[in-house]
Amino acid sequence: MNKAKITLLYADEAGEIFDAPGISAMGRTGNENVVLRTKDLLPLPESADLMYLPDRMPLGQKNGETMPISGQAVAALLPAGYTRLYMPAFQKSENAKVLPLYGYTAVALYKDEMYAAAVYTDKNDKWDPARYNTDNLPMLIDRVKKDMPDNILVDHLANCSLQWHCCTAQNLFYGRWEAGIPVSPVCNAACLGCISLQAAECCPSPQSRIKFSPSPETIAQIGTYHLSRAADAIISFGQGCEGEPSLAVDNLVPALKMIRAHTDKGQININTNAGFTEGIARLADAGLDSMRVSIISAVPENYKAYYRCNYELADVIASIQYAKRKGVYISLNMLYFPGFNDSKTESAAWRKFLRMAPVDMIQVRNLNIDPDEFAKVMPQFTPPLGTKMFFGGLKGEFPDISIGSFSHYQKE
């Protein structure tokens, strides 16, 4: 085998993976399929998962001709800290079902090893998978339940920890770092890739949304508990198992005041779409420390096509501007789809957005969605700059903005 070749991989019906000698591997950006290059690849991370894509034949190239290969396309699911450059290139059968909500990354065989079409974005050992789902987790959960026996959120987060393996839920019981506190069963958006609520005919959600509204006292008890005892403590509202947390502002504002009446330790964060500016302003006034804003597009029409919301992108900008004036640390949680965010149209819009809405950090997250479902609802893709050039351009114009993947504890 020629080790210089980047060779296509495919899987059989049993999920066993094979290579196709002589067939060059391809990846997808937007709706375009391209041959993968060595500069697009890095060794497949140890904690990555491989899966095959049913009813989707992989596309490869031989002698300049693109062709489908009999078998199932193969994709990698990357751990946090890696940003994909290309998705798998495939030809879908007519009866193919919608793919589950994962971030599919192109993989190939190179130098007799598996490689992924991705770039390493950020390092944070706190999110190493080996630090979670440990054998002693059930014992730690029982201990916290004894400390807060009547707190309904503790029971909810225990279920999130054991059933959904949520890392921010588990951190409450490990007594460390960022702990999620879900507070809102309702939302002001119906995101195409929402991981907690999907229409029955769509792909299934990977976790269930919270069905109750915790009281200020319930929120304050668990928030004070974590901030008072945990290392590098952060409490975060706005988890994958809830809707929009700013809609719970009537409960959150008194909760924040109760928390700060008991402890000045740690940081209070909200993960939000920032569309409800009144709620964000009240939280910023109440002592919010940081805000991570979910966003996929800087073009209003594209933004609305994904979020399907009852607010405008202008409201998001207004929320960021207000929170920034109050000294809140602002991150963008940029949902990234190769060939979309880095298109020339979007790139120009992002520069305009960041001039109006100054932020401290951009956290890049691979968008978890079936690529074809995303392409159905988005306007025609314009030519992409490429992921590396896109982020390099943003960094060049906005050098003070950090670009990574993780929330980092802000030293006081």
Going by their DSSP bridges, the two strands 65-68 and 56-62 should be labelled as antiparallel
Counting Cα atoms < 13 Å in the Cβ hemisphere of 341 gives: 26
CA distances from 207 to 5, 164, 193, 276 (A): 40, 7, 12, 24
Alpha-carbon 97 to chain mean position: 23
Asked if 91 contacts 371 with a C-beta cutoff of 8 angstroms, the reply is no
Q: How many C-beta neighbours within 10 Å does residue 345 have?
A: 18
d(CA 168, CA 239) in angstroms, rounded, equals 8
201 — pLDDT class (breaks 50, 70, 90): very low
Return the SS3 of 248: helix
Q: Tell the burial category of 50 from Cβ atoms under 10 Å away from its Cβ (0-12, 13-18, 19+).
A: middle
Asked if 93 contacts 70 with a C-beta cutoff of 8 angstroms, the reply is no
d(CA 145, CA 150) in angstroms, rounded, equals 8
Residue ranges in 245-343 assigned as alpha helix (H):
249-262, 277-286, 300-307, 313-325
Please say if the pLDDT value at position 1 is more than 50: no
d(CA 286, CA 272) in angstroms, rounded, equals 16
Indicate the average pLDDT of the chain. Answer: 92
Please say if the pLDDT value at position 358 is more than 80: yes
Please say if the pLDDT value at position 13 is more than 90: no
Which pLDDT score is estimated for 230? 96
Which pLDDT score is estimated for 399? 96
Please say if the pLDDT value at position 199 is more than 80: no
3 — pLDDT class (breaks 50, 70, 90): very low
Which pLDDT score is estimated for 194? 81
Asked if 181 contacts 235 with a C-beta cutoff of 8 angstroms, the reply is yes
CATH superfamily of 125-404: Aldolase class I (3.20.20.70)
Please say if the pLDDT value at position 208 is more than 90: no
Which pLDDT score is estimated for 409? 66
pLDDT in tens, 289-331: 999 999 999 999 999 999 999 999 999 999 999 999 999 999 9
DSSP class of residue 202?
Answer: S
Please say if the pLDDT value at position 204 is more than 60: no
Question: How much of the chain exceeds pLDDT 90, in percent?
Answer: 84
Please say if the pLDDT value at position 411 is more than 80: no
Which pLDDT score is estimated for 195? 61
pTM over 0.85: yes
Q: Smallest Cα–Cα separation from 232: which of 124, 391, 318?
A: 124
Task: Provide φ and ψ at 18, rounded to 5°.
Answer: -130, 160
pLDDT in tens, 33-89: 999 999 999 999 998 999 999 999 999 999 999 999 999 999 999 988 899 999 999
Please say if the pLDDT value at position 2 is more than 60: no
Asked if 183 contacts 251 with a C-beta cutoff of 8 angstroms, the reply is yes
The b-or-e profile of 144-169 (16+ CB within 10 A means b, else e) is beeebeebebbebbbbbbbebebbbb
SS (H, E, C) 363-402: EEEECCCCHHHHHHHCCCCCCECCHHHHHHHHHHHCCCCE
Residues of the chain with CATH 3.20.20.70: 125-404
277-288: average pLDDT: 98
